[in-house]
Each structure stands twice: as structure tokens, then as C-alpha cells.
Amino acid sequence: MTQTITVIRGDGIGPEIMDATLHVLDSMNLGLSYEFADAGLVALEKHGELLPAATMESIRRNRIALKSPLTTPVGEGFSSINVELRKRFDLYANVRPAISFPNTKSRFASGVDLITVRENTEGAYIGEGQSVSEDGETAVLTQKVTRRGSERIVRYAFDLARRTGRKKVTVVHKANILKSTSGLFLKTARLVAQEYPDIECNEMIVDNCCMQLVMKPEQFDVIVTTNLFGDIISDLCAGLVGGLGLAPGANIGTDAAIFEAVHGTAPDIAGQGKANPCALLLGAAQMLDHLGKVEEADRLRKAIVATLEAKDSLTPDLGGTGNTMSFAKAIAGRI
């Protein structure tokens, strides 16, 4: 059966890395069909709005979107289109794998294989209750953590661990200081963990977790945490294994899921064929996992690793002399 996915080519390097990614997916005969939709600057220019209703409808209908990075111009209604998409589709789980790859200029070219599961809708990023006093001396921010929000993200992390054969979930918190918000998250996580006796569960305070990640990242398998901590930890993890060019992310909700590269539109290299397509390709691999095409996702990741190992047509950020499409063709050739 053909699966239709919404494809958003995006801004800056977006179209280049999307064309490269679709070239690789097409070479795999996955039975996917693409419904192209606009968002970001390109949508503003074409349709007069950043997030056209037709794009929302396409994601709602197909429930799966593969998305390139988008530019949100200042003063156009949203602070970020990506945040807006998360809100409108209640994409509560931000899932960010960090895996060691060979021949990247990273601290850990081997030994790291972890997934950060970040709560995406609550915590410090709710955008409510922010104020600065009239004299500008005092700023206030409200954080909100709910039992329901904590339960569903922790359950997502444990289910992900079970589904993918992972062994351990680390609950990261700061309940010793943030007794209400982080306290509720931890208490809820402990209850959920009891339902998964087959998965080891440990707890770690966020500052210690950051140190441990830098010193002994191999001890982590799945990390689950609240919004702000997850934002920081997932970028830290991307840095451990070679940076933004290799960091994918998924935003998962009950009714829709959006898969993407973590990096932005890279205006400094747009249109030059220099962009590394791996982050979006790895996002596409997450999408295949989500669609139950686990073997195909594995083949795609292995082809990326083999191409990196062979240093075949790598883009300049990885020290190569290839370009976006030649790199993608080298990957497709190994599938």
C-alpha cells in the first residue's frame, strides 16, 4: 500500500537537502508518495502566509511530514513556525538520537548510541506568565508541568525503549531544587517506570547528567526529561557525535508526526551544494521507524555509516570535496 507523506522543502539549504533525501528514499522503493506543501519564507512569498491552511490540512490528512528547516521572518505573527507546528498538532515528544559516526570531527567517533526524549509542550517554554516589572528590575516566568504531560512523555520513552530493544531509561530532573515542577515529573516517572519491569530505570540530576554525558556518554541509552533540560541536553548530545550536520529530530504527537534535521536554513551556504544531507536523511530514517519500516530504516543508517567510512563524496563540513547530491548518490549506491 502506498503511504503518502507531506513534504516541506523549506528555506535556505532546505530544498537542496530535501532533493538529496528524496533521491535516496526513491532508490529504496519504499512505496512512499509525496504531497509537497509550502511553509516558511517560501510560503509567505507564494501564498502571503507562513503556514498556509493547505499545508496544515496536508499534515492533518497524511499524519506524517518530512520537513526541511524554515525561516521565520521577524514580525510575521509567530515567534517560530516550528513552535507553532508543535502547538497546533500537540507534538508532545521531541525525539533526538545521537549516534557516533566514523570520520566525523567529533569527540566520540564511537561508543555513543543514545536517544533523548524531550517533553515538547510544557515546562519553561509554555510562553505564559512572562513579565518584566515596570522598572525593568525583575523578570518573572511561569513553568507548568502536568501529571498528564509527564506521564505521556515518560510512557513514550519506555515504549520506545521496549520497541527498539533498548535496555535503560534515565529520568533527568532537578527535583531537589525545582520541587514542584521537576518534583511532579519525577514522581510521575517513578510510577510509570513500575509498569516496565523489563527496562532498567535510573534517575539523574540534570547538572550531573551533563557532566556524565561529556565524560562517559556510553552509559546512556534513553534519556527522558522536561522541555528546557531536553533542549539543552539534546544539543549537547549532537555536539558529542559530530554536530548539527548529523543531528536529526522527530516531533511526535497522537495525530501527527513531523521529522526533520535539527539544524537551521544555513543561509551562509545556501544554493552552493555544500549542505550535508545526513541530518535530514537520519530524520527520514526515524520516519521509516515510525512507519514500521524498521529494516529499511536500518539499511538507510548502515548506508550512511558505510559512506562515511569510505569517505565517499563527503560534503565540506566533513572535510570532503563532494556536494549535497553526490553525497546522497554515494549513500543511495550503498543501499
Binding part of the chain for ligand NAD, among 98-106, 219-227, 273-281, 299-307 by CB under 6 A, reads: 273-281
Does the protein bind ligand NAD through residue 70 (CB under 6 A)? yes
Residue 125 is among the residues annotated as catalytic for this protein: yes
Does the protein bind ligand NAD through residue 21 (CB under 6 A)? no
Q: Which residues contact 58 (CB under 8 A, 6 or more apart)?
A: 6, 35, 37, 65
User: Of 100, 44, 110, whose CA–CA distance to 77 is shortest?
Assistant: 44
Out of 8, 279, 308, 328, name the contact with ligand NAD by CB under 6 A: 279
Residues constituting the chain? 335
Are 160 and 195 contacting, i.e. CB atoms less than 8 angstroms apart? no
Find the residue with minimal CB distance to ligand NAD: 264
One-letter amino acid for residue 111 of the chain: G
Side-chain-facing half-sphere of 54: CA atoms under 13 Å: 12
Residue 81 or residue 222: which is nearer to ligand NAD going by CB? 81
Does the protein bind ligand NAD through residue 260 (CB under 6 A)? yes
Residue 312 is among the residues annotated as catalytic for this protein: no
Query: CB 335 → ligand NAD: shortest distance, Å?
Result: 20
Region 81-110 residues binding ligand NAD, contact defined as CB under 6 A: 82
Out of 71, 100, 226, 227, name the contact with ligand NAD by CB under 6 A: 71
The residue with cell 516541506 is 8
Query: CB 264 → ligand NAD: shortest distance, Å?
Result: 2
Does the protein bind ligand NAD through residue 245 (CB under 6 A)? yes
- Residue among 231, 289, 293, 329 flagged as catalytic: 231
Terminal alpha carbon distance of the chain: 22
- Residue among 26, 90, 159, 207 flagged as catalytic: 207
Q: What are phi and psi of 257, to 5 degrees?
A: -145, 135
What is the chain's percent helix, strand, coil content, to nearest 5? 40, 20, 40
- Residue among 11, 67, 174, 317 flagged as catalytic: 174
Does the protein bind ligand NAD through residue 230 (CB under 6 A)? no
Q: What is the dihedral of CA 304, 308, 313, 314, to 10 degrees?
A: 100
Does the protein bind ligand NAD through residue 117 (CB under 6 A)? no
Are 79 and 126 contacting, i.e. CB atoms less than 8 angstroms apart? no
The residue with cell 548530545 is 237
Q: Which residues bind ligand NAD (CB under 6 A)?
A: 13, 17, 69-72, 82, 244-245, 260, 263-269, 275-276, 279, 317
Which of the residues are catalytic? 125, 174, 207, 231
